[in-house]
């Protein structure tokens, strides 16, 4: 079943991020994928996440598709100009990919090549506009295409904002829908109450939303997110739970499972981001009864 069909069916959808390796040895990522086969609705492959140089999303998505997985190709604005971005979308279509998540991308200064020059020729709104034009059969210069791509298009949103930031997010969501977005994926959500308030505001859009759940590895990671990252807000109760837990991995699984169960009535599915703890995902799925 495709991601589009799964979301249209009304059942709760689960996809998992699989990070490409830093190199071309794919044995470990294929092993991780096999543990998920038949247990999730798809795998999402980040595009150089956190601006760290890795194997690209496109090649891994194609290889996983050949192994029978539904894939979500990620493409960010950071590393390519408008020529290369449009070409990459056409590449993905020619290689048979059907789902695409279009993103802004982290600044290179955050990654392992901080001296790299960012591109950002298009921002995420501009990239969505380019994808819409390609789906209509034209490039950004107005030239007609010989064949046009057909994608199920996703975009990222901030799912726990409030106040003026919420008003701005609502306006951006309207613009993204106008540009052809078919579904949304939130940034990491840890506060169910904030997300519930957000969902009430976006309900009139009637568009599927996948909530991102990032596995929390430590108290230090949780505090870093609260202090340095815009958007996600981790409640003290979760930090206390991590701090007091004798087994941090078990606590990580329990926190993620509890969040997914609490959020499931408020969204159409989740994207689980293991961030290197992919081996824990099967245990999380066990906890969820999958």
Residues linked to residue 13 through DSSP beta bridges, in sequence order: 269
Report helix, strand and coil shares of the chain as percent, to nearest 5: 45, 15, 40
- CB count within 10 Å of CB 205 equals 15
pLDDT beyond 80 at 230: no
Domain count across the chain: 1
**pLDDT tens digits along 152-187:** 999 999 999 989 999 999 999 999 999 999 999 999
pLDDT of residue 290: 63
* Angstrom distance (rounded) from CA 212 to CA 158: 10
The closest of 234, 289, 222 to 261, measured between CA atoms, is 289
The parent domain of residue 165 ranges over: 3-287
* Angstrom distance (rounded) from CA 211 to CA 177: 18
Supply the CATH number for residue 211's domain. Answer: 3.20.20.220
SS3 101: strand
**pLDDT tens digits along 115-126:** 999 999 999 999
pLDDT beyond 80 at 232: no
**pLDDT tens digits along 12-53:** 999 999 999 999 999 999 999 999 999 999 999 999 999 999
* Angstrom distance (rounded) from CA 179 to CA 182: 9
């Amino acid at each position: 079943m495709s991601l589009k069909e799964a979301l249209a069916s009304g059942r709760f959808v689960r996809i998992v991020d699989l990070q490409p390796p830093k190199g071309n040895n794919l044995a470990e990522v294929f092993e991780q994928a096999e543990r998920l086969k038949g247990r999730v609705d798809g795998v999402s492959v980040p595009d150089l996440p956190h601006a760290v140089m890795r194997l690209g999303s496109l090649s891994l998505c194609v290889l996983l598709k050949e192994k029978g997985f539904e894939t979500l190709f990620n493409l960010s604005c950071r590393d390519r100009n408008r020529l290369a971005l449009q070409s990459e979308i056409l590449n993905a279509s020619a290689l048979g990919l059907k789902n695409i998540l279009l993103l802004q991308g982290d600044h290179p200064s955050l990654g392992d090549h901080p001296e790299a020059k960012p591109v950002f020729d298009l921002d995420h709104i501009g990239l969505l506009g380019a994808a819409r034009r390609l789906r209509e059969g034209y490039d950004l210069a107005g030239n007609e295409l010989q064949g046009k791509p057909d994608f199920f298009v996703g975009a990222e949103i901030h799912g726990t904002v409030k106040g003026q930031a919420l008003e701005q997010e609502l306006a951006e969501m309207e613009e993204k829908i106008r540009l052809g977005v078919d579904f949304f994926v939130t940034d990491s959500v840890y506060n169910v109450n904030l997300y519930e308030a957000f969902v009430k505001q976006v309900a009139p859009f009637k568009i599927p939303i996948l909530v991102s759940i990032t596995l929390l590895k430590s108290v230090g990671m949780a505090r870093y997110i609260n202090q340095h990252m815009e958007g996600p807000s981790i409640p003290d109760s979760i930090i206390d739970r991590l701090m007091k837990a004798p087994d941090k991995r078990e606590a990580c699984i329990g926190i993620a499972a509890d969040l997914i169960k609490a959020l499931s009535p408020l969204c159409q599915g989740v994207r689980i981001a293991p961030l290197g703890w992919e081996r824990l995902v099967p245990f999380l799925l066990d906890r969820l009864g999958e």
